[in-house]
Amino acid sequence: MESPLVLVEHDGPVAVVTINRPDKLNALNLAVLRALTTAFHALLVGEPPPRAAILTGAGDKAFVAGADIAEMRALAPAQAKAMSDTGHRLGALLEAAPFPVLAAVNGFALGGGCELALACDFIYASDRAKFGQPEVNLGVIPGFGGTQRLGRRVGVGRARELVYTGDILDAQAALGIGLVNAVVPHAELRAKVLEVAHKIASKGPLAVAQAKRVMLRGADADLAVANELEAQAFGGLFGSADQREGMAAFLEKRKAAFTGG
């Protein structure tokens, strides 16, 4: 029996989602994209939902080495567009989730793999990780958001250079341009990302969700509009049990016990 394409584990309030196709370096095909979408939909409706999630790849070589070229090569234009739409829906789902999604990049993150990591809130990389959008080597362009999210992450000029040349960056170079948040020794990656995810999970979940929503929606808005989004979210949180608990805990010099209410 084949292993599931996507594995989901729970470490307390943290969900760990693993793309489980190590024999193909976790390459993305339509089935994997659909399985990831199903997995994250299930987390969204879980009771309770996680307070943070980690996305990573199985094995010791790749987060996601790219899209499955053997499957893609025979696609007609309409089929390719449909696959791109599926990838975009997954990226939008990760961005819209009320909990942060942290990418733990444990190896190659090329093409669709880099795009998947870019849809996460931020990225931690193994010192063995490699990043790039090499689609021009295949006569196509990034199709899961790379032409858009990469520039928003590292700046338009640097993104154009990477997309046009198809160059591959090692982890330190990716850190240097702001593509990743930190580089850690390969053997310590999972522990490091779990540590950060649990730190986030200990905070007020409504506050974290609103911070994520406002930062995403305000990123491309006029500053005045974005600041109004912030003010509305700030005010709205004052009607929550978490706000009352958080401020009471601060004044009483104890750890807050947030419930998400």
> Average of pLDDT values for 79-106?
97
Half-sphere exposure of 100 (CA within 13 A, CB side): 25
- For the whole model, what pTM was predicted? 0.94
Handedness of CA 169, 172, 178, 179 (dihedral sign): positive
Dist. CA 55–CA 227, nearest whole Å: 30
- CATH of the domain spanning 6-201: 3.90.226.10
Confidence of residue 3 (pLDDT cuts 50, 70, 90): low
Residue-range domain boundaries for the chain: 6-201, 205-251
Model pLDDT for residues 135-170, shown as the tens digit of each residue: 999 999 999 999 999 999 999 999 999 999 999 999
Amino acid identity, residue 16?
V
H-helix or E-strand spanning residue 108: strand 108-110
DSSP 6-19: EEEEEETTEEEEEE
Residue 46: the pLDDT is 87
Could you tell me the fold of the domain covering 205-251? Lyase 2-enoyl-coa Hydratase; Chain  A, domain 2 (1.10.12)
Return the structure tokens found at 220.
């491309």
Dist. CA 140–CA 124, nearest whole Å: 28
Q: Which of 47, 115, 188, 245 is catalytic?
A: 115
Model pLDDT for residues 175-211, shown as the tens digit of each residue: 999 999 999 999 999 999 999 999 999 999 999 999 9
What is the number of helices (H) and of strands (E) in the chain? 11, 10
Q: Which of 135, 161, 230, 245 is catalytic?
A: 135
Burial 73-108 (b: 16+ CB within 10 A, else e): eeeeeeeeeebbebbbebbebbbebbbbbbbbbbbb
Whether 135 is a known active-site residue: answer yes
Return the structure tokens found at 39.
């997995």
Q: What are the distances in angstroms from CA 46 to CA 15, 21, 72, 102, 220?
A: 11, 25, 33, 19, 31
Whether 71 is a known active-site residue: answer no
